[in-house]
Structure 1
Amino acid sequence: MHHSGVDPADLLDRENNPVDEWGWHERIPERTPLGVSESLFALSNGYLGMRGNPAEGRDSAEHGTFINGVHETWDIEHAENAYGLAREGQAIVQVPDAKAMRLYIDDEPLRLGAVEVEDYGRGIDFREGVERRSFIWRTSAGKRVRVITDRMVSFQERHLAIMSLEVELLDADAAVVVSSQILNRQDGEDEFSTILGHHATSTESGPDGATGAAGAAGTAGIAGTAGTA
């Protein structure tokens, strides 16, 4: 009987994931299953961890922001008592999720699975420890918008995570709204379905009550820092 070995290289999509000995890259949006991509782009320092969910905080297989030691316990009841039976169960729970930075151009929400993008690239540089994503979004009105997001979890300050969002209008004026949110994911509620139908009424108030900026073709940026006590 002949057994042929499996070459791991044959299992990798090199068109989407080119070789880089100091990084992991993704070139084609939506080709990798969301759950796999979120695991591959997860960031952690052993104390604070974040799954690699898209910065806009919408479609996801499993959202996740965790802190080592934050968990819940419950009593385990057995039909009969016996030596060695576990008495207490434990499970890690999510802390409030501060990763979401939602972007709206002329009231149109960015949602990768439903918009047209080009020049897409996402990667982690293992030397810097930074996950960076960039692409050009063509809105339904035909306006081209460059979007760049960065995310890192600090190895020097274990309580610190840093995220940034840069928006550049390439060829036309547009109203730009950025909504940076802290969400309770632990209860399993999907807040996106209620937010989607709620639109901005001015350039100063975003769809979620957040402040934003509107202006001529140019660059708008926002940076956020998440920390724990």
Structure 2
Amino acid sequence: MENSIPVIIFLGAPGAGKGTQALRLSQLKSIPKISTGDMLRQAQREDSPLGRKVKEIMNDGGLVDDDTMLDLVKERIMRPDCDQGFILDGYPRTKRQAAQLEGLLKPNMSVCVFKIEVEEDEIVRRVVGRRTCSTCEQIYNIFSDPPKVDEKCDLDGSKLFRRADDTEEVVRKRIATYQRETRPLISHYEKKGVLRNVNGMQPEEIVAKEILQTIC
């Protein structure tokens, strides 16, 4: 659609590289990356009733209910920095969530969906080694892309952290949940003609280039 506002969605199992690619694209296109995972982790830190509920679900490898996610996303995309488009990392995860999201979008918004495909054992390796900057959200991996100084961000020197749920047991459960929950969602976007499959086993730079070349 000419002069349309981009709404770019990244799908893929936990650890497939959605966050890394979403951040790259956000910086390149100067539109915000909206990670529902980040919003949920913030809710946990606030020690509210919602935060405690979210913490229990996430630590057990489950998914937060649709209505809670919708409220978080709705509040975020209504902010002025989303007027020229935005990138969603981790949402929607179900066909129902996709329908709810479509109800929030303006007529001049155009959806493009990237599904990053990575083998399960590789995902486990990536997740267990993942570290994130506490300030700028830059992502590292102690096995494949370590920081120059242990546990410190190359960009701003801030401390890196490992998520509490980044363990093999939890991630394999999350992968199984993801595959079960998102199968109808993938079919939904295939029928709409907006789904792009990306080989996430390739080097990060190659994946990024492929995404740029195939944006809807």
**Alignment TM-score, normalising by the size of structure 2:** 0.28
**Higher RCO (C-alpha 8 Å, min separation 6):** 2
Structure with greater strand percent: 1
Q: Which one has the bigger helix percentage?
A: 2
Larger radius of gyration: 1
TM-score after normalising by structure 1: 0.27
